[in-house]
Structure 1
Amino acid sequence: MIRIVILLVTLVIGSVANINAQSKYEQGMGKAFALWTENKPFEASNVFERIAEVESEEWLPHYYIAMINALNSFGVTDKEKLTLQLEKAKKHIEEAELISPNNPEIIIIKATINTAWIAYDGATYGMTLSMKNAELYKKAFELAPDNPRVVLSKAEWDMGSARYFGQSIEPYCKDIERSLELFATFKAESTMHPSWGKDRAKEVLKQCKG
């Protein structure tokens, strides 16, 4: 799981680090992405927070605050620290959703927060949050069946569930392949919008062929 987190962070940074900043908003976002590139995720999160306070109509700063805190929660064993990070992630992804409702990119991060709790203590959180994640991925797919991150994330979740119940992951390998086809033609709305996932899909596909 830690390897997955590191890979995802790298992918996110790679997709947004070269912003040609113009407005103050873009300059601030560029500074945050630069800090993330320097492996300073929480410093980046602080910058995103300052941007979010000023840019009340922008969902992306909240999205990245939530993403940073969620991804960096995998592997945390201190429950107090974990709770602080995931509560912050939850707060900001809900703020993002208020600004941009029914956004599949946001729904994916909501599911990631749940997955972090499950990874920490599956016995306590597994049953209820797994059900919620199944609903979240279903909703995201209904909203954006051709979004490569939605297809990839849903397939990965389904593969994890299949493994847990001792079932074959093969039915979901076609979904991973489809996500790669979608990544090939996907164009983000801007350099600041989510575009991560292609390399992750390639990694997951190796599991199918391994």
Structure 2
Amino acid sequence: MKALLIFAVVCGMANPTDRYVESMTRQIATLYQANSPELLQTSVNAFDRIAQVESQHWEPLYYSAFGNIMLAIRETSAARKDQYLDLALASVQKAQALQPANGEITAMEGFVYMIRVTVDPGARGQQYSAMAFGAINKALAMSPGNPRALGLLAQMELGTARFFNASTAGACETARKALAQYDSFQPENELTPMWGREMTEEVLKNCH
């Protein structure tokens, strides 16, 4: 009886983690496949609910931020874009409080600033481009060779080159490095971020 009790206690301790990973894995797959604002919002809501329960984990906050950025990209209203980006940044900052030296989270911060630029490049370019480059380079210092950070850097370099009618060679080289890192990237676990390759491939389509 004592052995059975110990077994039950051990299983009871393990199950919450198993349920968390299972739930997150399912929601991440749903988020990556979401092809409409409605589905994206449903995913964001799911991650927000998980984050409330699993407050010690950074991943739900991270994926909630990613979902809100995707919503901002699809949105046509500047005001609504900013609302989604505000929510994304709030989630990023909560995740950073849990893991300040996490390069994936810091790259996501840079992604928020990058999309801020697109809302009004003329008015926001100087401020938010600097913030985006700063966060992305900080992410690369934390996680050298991170493919998502390199991919975001390539997008920023391409956007900057186009804005100033300059050469895109640097952006193209960064994009090639990012794709090489995607090819060799080994996820740590089921919850490791895996997005970004297609965005980087879009950069290379502008290279000759």
Q: CA deviation at 1:75?
A: 4.5
Structure 1 residues 184 and 132: alpha-carbon distance in aligned structure 2, compared to 1, 3 A threshold: same
Structure 1 residues 198 and 120: alpha-carbon distance in aligned structure 2, compared to 1, 3 A threshold: closer
Partner of 1:91: 90
The aligned amino acid for 1:64 is Y
Q: Secondary structure at the match of 1:208?
A: coil
Structure 1 residues 33 and 144: alpha-carbon distance in aligned structure 2, compared to 1, 3 A threshold: closer
195-204 or 171-180: bigger deviation: 195-204
Q: Answer yes or no: is the 8 Å Cα contact 2:61–2:94 preserved in 1.
A: yes
Highest CA radius of gyration, 1 or 2? 2
Partner of 2:66: 67
Structure 1 residues 126 and 201: alpha-carbon distance in aligned structure 2, compared to 1, 3 A threshold: closer
Q: CA deviation at 1:61?
A: 0.3
Q: Answer yes or no: is the 8 Å Cα contact 2:40–2:70 preserved in 1.
A: no
Q: Answer yes or no: is the 8 Å Cα contact 1:77–1:120 preserved in 2.
A: no
Partner of 1:32: 27
Partner of 1:19: none
Q: CA deviation at 1:38?
A: 5.0
Q: Distance in 1 between matches of 2:190 and 2:60?
A: 13
User: Which fold has the larger relative contact order, with Cα–Cα distance below 8 Å and residues 6 or more apart in sequence?
Assistant: 1
Q: Answer yes or no: is the 8 Å Cα contact 2:182–2:197 preserved in 1.
A: yes
Q: CA deviation at 1:208?
A: 0.8
Partner of 1:12: none
Q: Distance in 1 between matches of 2:169 and 2:67?
A: 31
Q: CA deviation at 1:183?
A: 1.4
78-87 or 54-63: bigger deviation: 78-87
Q: Secondary structure at the match of 2:123?
A: helix
| Matched residue count | 188
Partner of 1:161: 160
Q: CA deviation at 1:172?
A: 2.7
77-86 or 106-115: bigger deviation: 77-86
The aligned amino acid for 1:87 is D
- In structure 2, stretches of 5+ residues that fail to align are 1-16
Q: 1:10-159 alignment to 2 at 5 Å?
A: 23-36=18-31, 37-39=33-35, 40-159=39-158
Q: Structure 1 length as normaliser, TM-score? A: 0.81
Partner of 1:178: 177
The aligned amino acid for 1:90 is L
- Could you give the per-residue CA deviations for residues 57-92 of structure 1, whole angstroms, max 9, x where no partner exists? 111100011111112112524344333322211111
- Could you give the per-residue CA deviations for residues 31-74 of structure 1, whole angstroms, max 9, x where no partner exists? 42354335411111111111101111111100011111112112
Q: Distance in 2 between matches of 1:136 and 1:71?
A: 19
Q: Distance in 2 between matches of 1:52 and 1:24?
A: 14
CA RMSD of aligned residues (A): 1.9
Q: Answer yes or no: is the 8 Å Cα contact 2:41–2:71 preserved in 1.
A: no
Structure 1 residues 23 and 114: alpha-carbon distance in aligned structure 2, compared to 1, 3 A threshold: same
Q: Structure 2 length as normaliser, TM-score? A: 0.81
Q: Distance in 2 between matches of 1:200 and 1:129?
A: 20
